[in-house]
């Protein structure tokens, strides 16, 4: 995968076009997100699970990814990613912190992607830092 191809994926995600993201995921993709507020594991297996989770989230927030650092080496990708969540309605069950309409929550994440046949088959997200300065709750 080239950096340009990766940025096409990011653009699809930022547009909440999950169907356009599907071709980037292997049929057996596994997305491991940082633990929820109670420390529970958050693992999504398969494209359908990813789409279901994000469709639900997008009902409450607009999520935007911004890549600060990107390294691609063969079948591995590593990036430092700023993820901004802007709540367009209250989201008391947001994974990191309850959000109220209008809140903006920004995370810095380290994300590793492993590729199989040119598609993401393992995605691991590690939360590095959070900016809660624009969160009212």
Q: Judge whether 80 lies within some domain.
A: yes
Instruction: Quote the pTM value.
Output: 0.89
Q: So what's the pLDDT on residue 133?
A: 58
The two three-digit tokens of residue 91, written as one number? 């989201």
Which CATH number belongs to the domain containing residue 69 in this structure? 3.10.450.50
> Which helix or strand (DSSP H or E) is residue 107 part of?
strand 104-116
Give the range of the structural domain holding residue 43, as residue numbers without chain letter: 3-131
Q: Judge whether 137 lies within some domain.
A: no
Q: Judge whether 47 lies within some domain.
A: yes
Number of domains in the chain: 1
Q: Answer for the pair 62, 77: CB distance below 8 angstroms, yes or no.
A: no
pLDDT in tens, 12-28: 999 999 999 999 999 99
Q: Judge whether 136 lies within some domain.
A: no
Q: Judge whether 45 lies within some domain.
A: yes
pLDDT in tens, 38-63: 777 789 999 999 999 999 999 999 99
């Amino acid at each position: 995968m080239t950096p340009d191809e990766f940025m096409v994926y990011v653009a699809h995600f930022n547009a909440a076009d999950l169907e356009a993201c599907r071709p980037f995921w292997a049929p057996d993709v596994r997305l491991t997100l940082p633990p929820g507020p109670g420390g529970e594991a958050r693992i999504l297996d398969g494209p359908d699970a990813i789409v279901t989770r994000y469709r639900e989230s997008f009902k409450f927030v607009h999520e935007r990814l911004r890549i600060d650092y990107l390294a691609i080496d063969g079948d591995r990708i590593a990036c430092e990613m700023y993820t901004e969540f802007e709540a367009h309605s209250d989201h008391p069950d947001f994974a990191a912190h309850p959000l109220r309409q209008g809140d903006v929550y920004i995370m810095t994440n380290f994300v590793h992607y492993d590729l199989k046949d040119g598609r993401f088959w393992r995605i691991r997200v590690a939360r590095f830092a959070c900016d809660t300065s624009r969160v009212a709750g």
